[in-house]
Structure 1
Amino acid sequence: MKLAAEVKALEARIGHSFARPELLARAVTHSSMSSPTRSDNQRLEFLGDRVLGLVMAEALLAKDKAASEGQLAPRFNALVRKEACADVARDIGLGEALKLGRSEMMSGGRRKQALLGDAMEAVIAAVYLDAGFDAARDMVLRLWGDRVGRVEADARDPKTALQEWAQARGMPPPVYTEVKRSGPDHAPEFTICVALANGQQVQAVAGSKRQAEQAAAQELLAGLDAGK
């Protein structure tokens, strides 16, 4: 099976040559493009999440042999959460290779955090099924790069960090409002607005309220940092 040009380019960016290229093609196929003859990436996403978790658990244990479970847990969560997966996906241009239905394409699906994070997990599973755990681990550690090394600084989730930012300046906690819910019941999309008392606000879209809140908080924090 030949890879489409954009998927072939992705193969080069992740650093793995597939013996079974159909796995990578499936990993970048969103459910909006599935059909009786074309499988989507949902099952691969499920597997990739578990492979990523094992890779990061091993990496954290090796990095800090004295850390307690209580210290390791937030670091682990920071590395495997959907936001981290989406960041890596953006680094490798994964959105360019996604196969999306028309509605997802028109609504900016290639930039959506939930879709990018899910696809990144699916790519991890594709490499695992194609070449085994060692190959998947090598790819994950290469793509996550120095995120593992700086994880303590990133361990707080964006909502917590934004609340601490506001409190440090005498503001009340940020307010999160559901602006819109769209999509079918099995694949909803939530638009969440986060607002500060000083009037600054940002909206974000994700596949769950929690993910959308985290994404909105992250984007607002990035703007606050840029404005320093």
Structure 2
Amino acid sequence: MTKTSETGRKLPELSRLEAKLGHRFAERSLLETALTHMSADQRRLASYQRLEFLGDRVLGLSIADMLFTTFPQAVEGDMSRRLADLVRKETCAEVAAAWELGPHLRLGEGEILAGARKNKAILADACEAVIGAVFIDGGYAAARKLVEAGFGQRLLKPVTPLRDAKTALQEWAQGQGHPTPTYAELGRSGPDHAPVFRIVVRIGTLSEAEAEGRSKRLAEQAAAETLLRRQGLWNENAEGEHG
């Protein structure tokens, strides 16, 4: 049996999704809320936003738990890089697609026409919301089992190489839900033919980082690297731009 959405379209039975997730809900309404976009119900509390908030934290804890167990010899910086790579929105969207969340999403007509069932940002949010729903319905053990099933194979893949510090910092910030990094020139010194630029990088409420370079580009890279090192996400083997 199918269920009719607000727009008159047919939604697949949630029992099929539960089988895909490997979790049968005691409180089915939690799963329904986890699949409800704001466009389908303008009441903020009726959408998946609160569950997404919770699921994001449960996902981070579950992945950290898995990394700690799977890589007993890994240093903190390596685990932090893997964590950032696994919880980023792009990875969550891939997992949501594997769970086939798209057809089950409750969306407004405008979002449906815009192709929101394949929208990576919405899929990523729904992925986290479903994890939050399972956490409430079955506790941490059930949520961790779901995360392990969805993210386990990705956990073993090599970490995506860092192309340069600015790119790495931007990807990390996005994966953690922080604003995009911004760079500002604090000043310059030295002769006109060989100036030294001082740049600061800021990300929301995080502590800013400063660095100098022979050009603005190099100073920005150095500032980004400084902030990455502070977060334990950069080491001497990282593939940065140093020229």
TM-score (norm 2): 0.61
* One of 12, 16, 19 as aligned partner of 1:9: 16
| Structure label with greater radius of gyration | 2
Q: 1:87 aligned to 90, 94, 106, which one?
A: 94
User: Partner amino acid for 1:48?
Assistant: G
Choose the corresponding residue for 1:153, options 150, 159, 172. Answer: 159
Distance 1:62 1:105, change over 3 A: same
- Checking the alignment, whether the CA contact within 8 Å between 1:6 and 1:96 is kept in structure 2 is no
Alignment of 1:183-202 (within 5 A): none
Q: 2:32 aligns with which of 9, 25, 28?
A: 25
Deviation readout 1:30-60 (Å, 9 max, x if unpaired) = 0111145971000000000000000000111
Residue of structure 2 in register with 1:203 after alignment: none
Q: Higher helix share goes to which structure?
A: 1
Aligned to 2:51: 44
Q: Distance in 1 between matches of 2:140 and 2:40?
A: 28
Q: Give the share of equivalent positions with the same residue, in percent.
A: 45
Q: Structure 1: state its 5+ residue gaps.
A: 162-228
Alpha-carbon distance, 1:145 to partner: 3.0
Q: CA deviation at 1:8?
A: 2.5
Q: Among residues 124, 129, 132, which one is paired with 2:131 in the alignment?
A: 124
Is 1:135 paired with 2:142? yes
CA contact (8 A) 1:74 1:156 kept: no
Instruction: Say if 1:122 and 1:78 are closer, same or farther in 2 by CA, change over 3 A.
Output: same
- Unpaired runs of 5+ residues, structure 2, are 4-10, 169-243
Q: Distance in 2 between matches of 1:15 and 1:51?
A: 17
Alpha-carbon distance in 2 for matches of 1:20, 1:157: 45
Matched, 1:76 2:83: yes
Q: Deviations over 1:152-208 (max 9, x none)?
A: 3336489959xxxxxxxxxxxxxxxxxxxxxxxxxxxxxxxxxxxxxxxxxxxxxxx
TM-score normalised by L of structure 1:
0.64
Structure 1 residue 121, shift from structure 2 partner: 0.1
RMSD: 2.4
- Cα distance in 1 between the residues matched to 2:136 and 2:65: 19
2:72 matches 1:60: no
**Compared CA separation, residues 45 and 157, structure 1 to 2 (3 A):** farther
Q: Distance in 2 between matches of 1:120 and 1:48?
A: 8
Q: Which runs of 4+ in 1 moved over 2 A?
A: 2-8, 35-38, 152-161
Q: Provide Cα deviations, 1:68-104, integer angstroms capped at 9, x if missing partner.
A: 2211111000111111100001111110100000111
How many residues align structurally?
159
Asked if 2 retains the 8 angstrom alpha-carbon contact of 1:44 and 1:125, the reply is yes
